[in-house]
Amino acid sequence: MEHQTLDAFPDNFLWGSASAAYQVEGAAKEDGKGESVWDRFVQIPGKTFKGTTGDVAVDHYHRYKEDVALMAEQGLKAYRFSVAWSRIIPDGDGEVNEKGLEFYDKLIDELLAHGIEPVLTLYHWDIPQALQDKYGGWESRQVIEDFTRYADILFQRYNNKVKYWVSLNEQNIFIMLGYRMAAHPPNVVDEKRMYQANHIANLANASVIRRFRELEINGKIGPSFAYGPTYALDSHPLNQLAAENNEAFSAHWWMDVYVFGEYPKTVWKYLEKKGLVPAIEEGDMDLLKSAKPDFMGLNYYQTATVEHNPLDGVSAGKMNTSGKKGSSEASGLPGVFKSADNPYVEQTDWDWDIDPVGLRIALRRIDSRYNLPILITENGLGAYDDLEEDGSIHDDYRIDFLRKHVQTIQEAITDGVNVLGYCTWSYTDLLSWLNGYQKRYGFVYVDREELDEKELKRYKKDSYFWYKKVIETNGKEL
């Protein structure tokens, strides 16, 4: 529907931006930090673009004050960041590292001093390597207890300071890339292990939410899920069915568990026939049902378009991690769906579909299926940026991308969806896990290249000033 007039953004709308520990902090070995699986994984030749690592990243660990000052000047209302588990408990389950906690004490206090709401992500993909070595990380039920203990430490320490908590970031991505494609740690290709690790991650997610309730933490908690609505290539019934399949396999398979504590039937049945269902123990389903989140965190980048895939059709394709347009290949699940090109949308240099309307559809689908408030925890454009001689960066393509997405959020709000806030990805430029430093997302340009850290100087992009105005006018001026 087209609205004659749009509802205003709510007064307390959280205009924010986001990052993750491994992608910004650096200081990989400082102040007692333990090794995480990412510290180890990036050492494997050929896994990341030009062998890039987060050893130094954009040095946020040492420059957090400068970064928060930039946020304050821009008027940011919320900043989403993640805590590195291996800073807090270096070996994952042993002694607590007070120095690691002190870094987050300082960061949170600095944000609060400037009136910026901290949004704390407990887990953004960096489980301590020691737990991977000891019991296989997410594949062992022991992780449920260890992750809950780690979360508990943060809940108690930051209760009344942090109001918004994200449990797991993009469980679908770290599980699928980690266990189906060997593109993330633990570098495995094994579907049986993937579904088992995923079930355990679900239990860990539910366990921290239950702990949050037991402690009566003054705030809200939910997972951040990577969701992009699926479109059928056309109205051919088999392509429509493929789209339904993709929604079930790529979205309901996770979000139904978070909200209803149930696995969707069609996917379960399919996996059962293949001998891939995870082992469910007594009490598992009760735990899952007992831990409904307060909100759904939505990381939205793009929609997916799919078509029918025969039983002998394509499976895992190739991702574009080089930034050479058109270098990705179709992927799918034989007999279920395969990706197709959407002729109606443009793509980024990394072949991601640019589709602002998809965000409105995402918000509406989540709202109607789960009836929860939604916090947009990531949305943004990865692009090449040029630093001009005078220190400016004219990223009008990013402004255009963000403006159109903000417009569709306002339309979704007018449709009746309860959207709590909007965190762009990302605040400063940062390390893109597999794509190096050349794929930039920030409002703040950081002058470094893949293999040359330079001085890591910060520069405001044109989008920085655009977002400042958006915040000042509470979304009236886009």
Residue bearing tokens 């309307």: 357
CB closer to ligand BG6, 91 vs 351: 351
CB closer to ligand BG6, 284 vs 355: 355
| Contact between 296 and 370 (Cβ < 8 Å) | yes
The span from the CA of 138 to the CA of 136, in Å, is 6
CA distance to 124, 249, 305, 400, per residue, from 246 (Å): 24, 5, 9, 29
Secondary structure (3-state) at 473: coil
CB closer to ligand BG6, 278 vs 323: 323
Restricting to residues 23-62, name those near ligand BG6 by CB under 6 A: 23
**Which candidate, 413, 423, 422, places its Cα nearest to that of 367?**
413
- The least distance separating ligand BG6 from the CB of residue 426, rounded to whole angstroms, comes to 7
**Which candidate, 347, 330, 348, places its Cα nearest to that of 339?**
330
Binding part of the chain for ligand BG6, among 3-11, 55-63, 357-365, 432-440 by CB under 6 A, reads 432-440
Binding part of the chain for ligand BG6, among 214-222, 247-255, 415-423, 426-434 by CB under 6 A, reads 426-434
User: What DSSP string describes 116-153?
Assistant: PEEEEEEESS--BHHHHHHH-GGGSTHHHHHHHHHHHH
Residue 353 sits in the site that holds ligand BG6 (CB under 6 A): no
**Which candidate, 131, 271, 149, places its Cα nearest to that of 198?**
271
Restricting to residues 225-244, name those near ligand BG6 by CB under 6 A: 226
Residue bearing tokens 């291996």: 86
Q: Annotated catalytic, 247?
A: no
Residue 148 sits in the site that holds ligand BG6 (CB under 6 A): no
CB closer to ligand BG6, 249 vs 433: 433
Residue 378 sits in the site that holds ligand BG6 (CB under 6 A): yes
**For ligand BG6, which residue has the nearest CB?**
432
Secondary structure (3-state) at 353: strand
Residue bearing tokens 């920085």: 464
Q: Which phi-psi region, left, alpha or beta, contains residue 137 (left: φ > 0; alpha: ψ -120 to 50)?
A: left
Q: Is 383 exposed, middle or buried (0-12, 13-18, 19+ CB in 10 A)?
A: middle
Contacts with ligand BG6: how many residues (CB under 6 A)?
15
Mask 285-314, x = binds ligand BG6 (CB under 6 A)? --------------x---------------
Restricting to residues 158-177, name those near ligand BG6 by CB under 6 A: 169-170, 173
| Contact between 131 and 93 (Cβ < 8 Å) | yes
Binding part of the chain for ligand BG6, among 36-44, 153-161, 271-279, 430-438 by CB under 6 A, reads 430-438
| Contact between 253 and 176 (Cβ < 8 Å) | no
CB closer to ligand BG6, 97 vs 432: 432
Q: Using CB under 6 A, which of 439, 440, 448, 460 touches ligand BG6? A: 439
Residue 328 sits in the site that holds ligand BG6 (CB under 6 A): no
Catalytic member of 378, 411, 450, 477: 378
| Contact between 360 and 408 (Cβ < 8 Å) | yes
Binding part of the chain for ligand BG6, among 86-94, 277-285, 335-343, 427-435 by CB under 6 A, reads 427-435
Q: Using CB under 6 A, which of 14, 20, 362, 444 touches ligand BG6? A: 20
Residue 432 sits in the site that holds ligand BG6 (CB under 6 A): yes
Q: Using CB under 6 A, which of 382, 421, 442, 475 touches ligand BG6? A: 382
Q: Using CB under 6 A, which of 320, 379, 435, 463 touches ligand BG6? A: 435
The span from the CA of 409 to the CA of 416, in Å, is 11
* Torsions phi, psi for 223 (to 5 deg): -80, 160
- Strand bridging mode 304-307 / 419-425: unpaired
- The least distance separating ligand BG6 from the CB of residue 280, rounded to whole angstroms, comes to 28
Catalytic residue IDs: 378
Which residues are at the interface with ligand BG6 (CB under 6 A)? Answer: 20, 23, 169-170, 173, 226, 299, 378, 382, 425, 432-435, 439
